[in-house]
Amino acid sequence: MILTNVDTVPGKTIVEHFGIVQGSTVRAKHVGRDLMAGLKNLVGGELKGYTELLQDAREEATQRMAEQAQQMGGNAVVNIRFATSSVAQGAAELFAYGTAVRVE
Amino acid sequence: MDLLLENLDLVIFVVLLCLGYSAGSWAERNHYKAIEAREQELLDMAVVTAEGSFPKNNVTQAVLVTGNAVVSIDYFKRLLAILRNIFGGRVKSYESLVDRARREAILRMKTAAKEQGANMIVNLRLETAAIGRNANQKKQIGSVEAIAYGTAVRLNRP
């Protein structure tokens, strides 16, 4: 599965378009991490726990998108975009979408 | 001593303020130093926001690379920002917050691209989102997440 965020797959030609595919996941942090983040909020700096959590979540969203593309018969997803939104207190939604294509 | 105990709220507030100021500015200085050093190191990795600015016929590989960072603001700067809300104007403490998060995210993306053996990143996109407990309250920003993503390509140098 080839993933890119440009219109084409560089070095290859697109032979078929399948339309939009998407994947999303909603994640919340566990209490321990929230507590650490609360402490870190006083002194500032990077919240490593959150960084990892969001990265994992984004990978999963991308994975789901890729699976959907595979079911359609594609072998690449082009024009991928990411979005993050806070759906509720302490939970975040990670969303990935793109166009499924078949390349040769 | 009694006076301190009577005004415990105030004492805690002042202690947090001092802690936020000292630890926050120390962490920020260190972070900026690290960012600048790594930016120098990764200077040879070209990043462009344009889409079609590479020679199309000698690309051997194209992969999606991402980088992200969540950075939180300290107690002292948060207070400054709240005060800024009253008078208006540039909120410097938030400017440095998003700047740090974004540059860190770009650096991580570049590192990921280097691991893949790429030598150029095209179509860079940046995104920011408010994260955490205060994300849904309009007035306060607790921490921000910056995402940087793009397509890493490997070019065959002639």
Q: Is the pLDDT of residue B17 over 70?
A: yes
CATH tag for B44-155 (out of 3.40.1280.10, 3.30.110.70, 3.30.470.20, 3.30.450.30): 3.30.110.70
Q: What per-residue confidence (pLDDT) applies to A90?
A: 66
The partner residue sitting opposite B63, judged by closest CB among A3, A51, A58, is: A3
State the pLDDT confidence band at A22, using cuts at 50, 70 and 90: very high
Cβ neighbours of residue A68 under 8 Å, at least 6 residues apart? A21, A22, A23, A100
Instruction: Give the whole-angstrom CA distance, residue B127 versus residue B124.
Output: 10
- Judged by CB atoms closer than 8 Å, whether chains meet at B74 and A43 is answered as yes
For tokens 């759906």, name the residue: A87
Range of the domain at A43: 2-103
Q: A46-55, A84-93, B57-66 — which is least confidently predicted?
A: A84-93
DSSP H helices, chain B, are: 2-6, 8-41, 75-87, 92-115
State the pLDDT confidence band at A39, using cuts at 50, 70 and 90: confident
Q: What is the DSSP letter of B58?
A: G
What are the distances in angstroms from CA B13 to CA A51, B4, B27, B152?
29, 12, 20, 48
Judge whether A22 and A96 are in contact, CB under 8 Å: yes
Number of domains chain A is built from: 1
CATH code assigned at A92? 3.30.110.70
Residue B131: count of CB within 10 angstroms of its CB: 26
Which residues on B lie below 8 Å from A54 (Cβ)?
68, 70, 131, 145
ipTM for the predicted complex comes to: 0.84
State the pLDDT confidence band at A29, using cuts at 50, 70 and 90: low
Instruction: Give the whole-angstrom CA distance, residue A82 versus residue A11.
Output: 24
Q: Is the pLDDT of residue A70 over 80?
A: yes
Choose among A92, A87, A89, A86: nearest CA to A54.
A92
Q: What per-residue confidence (pLDDT) applies to B124?
A: 92
Average pLDDT over residues B89-97: 85
Which residues on A lie below 8 Å from B57 (Cβ)?
11
Highest mean pLDDT, choosing among B19-23, B91-95, B108-112, B144-148:
B108-112
Q: What is the DSSP letter of B57?
A: G
Percent helix / strand / coil, chain B, rounded to 5 = 50, 25, 25
- B18-70: per-residue pLDDT in tens? 888 888 888 889 999 999 999 998 888 888 888 766 666 677 788 999 999 98
For chain B, give the mean pLDDT: 84
Cβ neighbours of residue B134 under 8 Å, at least 6 residues apart? B140, B141, B142
- B102-111: per-residue pLDDT in tens? 999 999 999 9
Q: Is the pLDDT of residue B96 over 70?
A: yes
**Chain B CB within 8 Å of residue A1 CB:** no
**Domain segments of chain B: what residues?**
44-155
The partner residue sitting opposite B72, judged by closest CB among A6, A7, A41, is: A41
For chain A, give the mean pLDDT: 85
